[in-house]
Amino acid sequence: MSDAVSPVKQTFSSWSPLEPVDQPCRRISCTQLDYEIRVVMHFSEMKSDLQKDLEITFLGAIGLKWMEEGPYSVSDTSTDILEKCSQECWRGWNRPMHVAKESPWLASVSVLPHTHSCLHYLLISDEHIVEILAEPSPGAHWVESGRADK
């Protein structure tokens, strides 16, 4: 019998701070100030009926990973395990927002103060992969396209 600890398999479930979004996102912009991370998910840049962008504010943020999406991505997360969009026109595309279960990244920082209630969020766009460790229930609202980055 081996004393080796078996690695925990990380899984993700689709998530949204508002109503569910069943289409991909073109890109993600991000700003950080102390323990607050604000992201804008630019849905309006996709050819779809959704002409607004989603601004999400994560409070109590203790971790941020930002990567370009692509076949050479350095993300620890395999996008093959993520839930796909169900609309016919987006079939095969990943849903844009997820929460990790059994996150090795979150587990690796769990000895730090104020981490016991944090969640591991995964945001995916056509151009970026963003992972955030932050408190539950981030604030969110829809903004007019083009207004979000100004």
Residue 7 has pLDDT above 70, yes or no: no
Any domain includes 53? yes
pLDDT tens-digit profile of 83-110?
999 999 999 899 999 999 889 999 999 8
pLDDT at res. 112: 84
Any domain includes 76? yes
Cross-strand partners of 122:
98, 131
Residue 48 has pLDDT above 90, yes or no: no
Cross-strand partners of 98:
14, 122
What's the number of domains the chain is made of?
A: 1
Any domain includes 47? yes
CB atoms within 10 A of CB 46: 18
Any domain includes 116? yes
Instruction: Compute CA distances 66 → 41, 111, 113, whole Å.
Output: 13, 23, 23
**Domain span at 64:** 11-144
pLDDT tens-digit profile of 14-32?
999 999 999 999 999 999 9
How far apart, in whole angstroms, are the C-alpha atoms of residue 107 and residue 103? Answer: 6
Any domain includes 43? yes
- Band (pLDDT 50/70/90 cuts) for residue 141 is very high
CB atoms within 10 A of CB 93: 18
Any domain includes 2? no
Please write down the long-range contacts of 116-120, taking CB distance under 8 Å and 24 or more positions apart. Answer: 117/60, 118/60, 118/62
Any domain includes 72? yes
How far apart, in whole angstroms, are the C-alpha atoms of residue 104 and residue 138? Answer: 21
Residue 127 has pLDDT above 80, yes or no: yes
